[in-house]
Chain A
Amino acid sequence: MSVSDEKLIAFVDGELDGAERAEVEAALAADATLAARAEAQRKLRTRLSAAFDGALDEPVPERLRAATEAAPRAADVASMADRRAAKTRPQWSFREWGAMAASLVGGLVIGLGAMNANAPMIAPGDDGLVARGQLARALDTQLASDEAGAVRIGLSFRDQNGAYCRTFDARGTAGLACNQQPLAGRAHGRKREHRRSAYGERTGGEKCWRRWTNASRANRWMPTAKPKRAKRAGTEQPCPGREAIREPSMGSARNVGHGSRLSASLRPGSVEH
């Protein structure tokens, strides 16, 4: 019988089962040329299987090993575009921001500066001060690139619960305002050390708010940090908020109070850079 090339190769590769294998064995026994071909293919396979084995003995290059660690998990990043965007965001631990959003603002010093007393930008709310009016509008809608108005917006963050914090500089009153979101239990039990690490060695004032990127979100903005006068660049003041970090109270992890809710037609979760 004649054995097709495919069958011969499959035989050499051990892919034939009982009946077919016996068939080929019989044919090989009867045909010396066929047997020689089978032997040649067996030798070839041995050569092929060994020819590239150097790769198994060599140490793996570091960049390949690193590649197995470096990529983001699919759960964290939905797409390549998100991955690129994520790389440009500052590497904050967002839990600090969430804690600050939940904390009450005590000892707040507000430099009224050029703020119009008839249109206050920061006003008392149920659990602390709440942004109003021009400041609230700016926090809701303004992009950091817009430096023309009375309020300059610096950096915005989104923490893991979707709450946003933004820094602002309103003509002498600078601070950090966080979107008051119900943080449900995440605001509690967080160690103080985590919060202190948020700013590191960075300095405040101009440097602080300029350093951050943009996000926008519609909601109520509550200053949670101790606003201070905007400093000249190069001063060594810590970023706004550092002094005001403290244990959140039980009542802080829910949406505050009343007051005019400003509408802004922004898609939740949209991030603009």
Chain B
Amino acid sequence: MPSAAAPTGADIAALLPRLRRFARALTGHTADADDVVQIAVERALMRIDQFQPGTKLEAWLLSIVRNAWIDEARARTRRSKTFVAPEAGENVGSDGEAAMHAKLEANDVWAAMQQLPEEQREAVALVCVEGLAYREAAEALGVPIGTVTSRLARGREALARLLGETP
């Protein structure tokens, strides 16, 4: 039986706007975001007894959303991959992957986020969009803090170039 401290469906419902926001930053599409959140909610309720009372519910749920997105992204082609003319600019977010470029509007944050590799994007989404501390983000992602800071730094440098936020 769930203990008295176990979160309820209502607790999760209260966090839905934040989960949707995070999922939009990850997926780049509002419809995909809601699909991922629905899967995440179902999984969270199935394993609600695994939640450690006293820890942050939002961090736990965000990690479930993130994992649901990983599963979903593996099952489909990334829509954000587009080929553009060579003058589009330098490689961004290479990380050993083939870099895809797009000519972007200066303020198109959504598209810029989609240009990042998953691991940088999710770090940026947790820290900059959802406001998690580095330690919380590391826990949600299951990686050391040093990994979070390096992915965060690379992602933010890439975004700065893409979005014209360069000195």
A contacts, CB < 8 Å to B: 4-6, 8-10, 13, 15, 33, 36-37, 39-41, 43-45, 47-49, 51-56, 58, 60-61, 63-65, 67-69, 71-75, 77, 80
Contacts and interface: CB of A to CB of B under 8 A. Distances in A.
- A-B interface, 3 closest residue pairs, ranked by CB to CB distance from nearest: A36-B167, A71-B45, A55-B21
B24 interface: yes
Given A40-B166, A52-B21, A71 B153 contact: no
Contact of A9 (B25, B129, B153): B153
Given A40-B160, A55-B21, A68-B13, A48 B109 contact: yes
Interface residues of B, number: 49
Contacts, number: 126
A168 B78 CA distance: 57
B41 A15 contact: no
Given A41-B160, A44-B165, A55-B20, 11 more contacts: A8-B153, A9-B149, A15-B134, A47-B163, A48-B129, A64-B16, A64-B38, A67-B41, A69-B13, A73-B45, A74-B49
Interface of B: 1-2, 9-10, 12-13, 16-18, 20-22, 24-25, 30, 33-34, 37-38, 41-42, 45-49, 107, 109-110, 124, 127-129, 131, 133-134, 149-150, 152-154, 156-157, 159-160, 163, 165-167
A63 B31 CA distance: 12
5 contacts: A6-B153, A48-B129, A51-B129, A60-B16, A74-B2
The secondary structure that dominates the B interface is helix
Contact of B2 (A43, A47, A63, A73): A73
Most A C-beta atoms less than 10 A away, residue of B10, B34, B156, B166: B156
Given A48-B128, A60-B20, A64-B16, A40 B1 contact: no
Contacts of B47: 74
Contact of A37 (B12, B22, B131, B167): B167
Given A5-B157, A49-B129, A52-B25, A39 B167 contact: yes
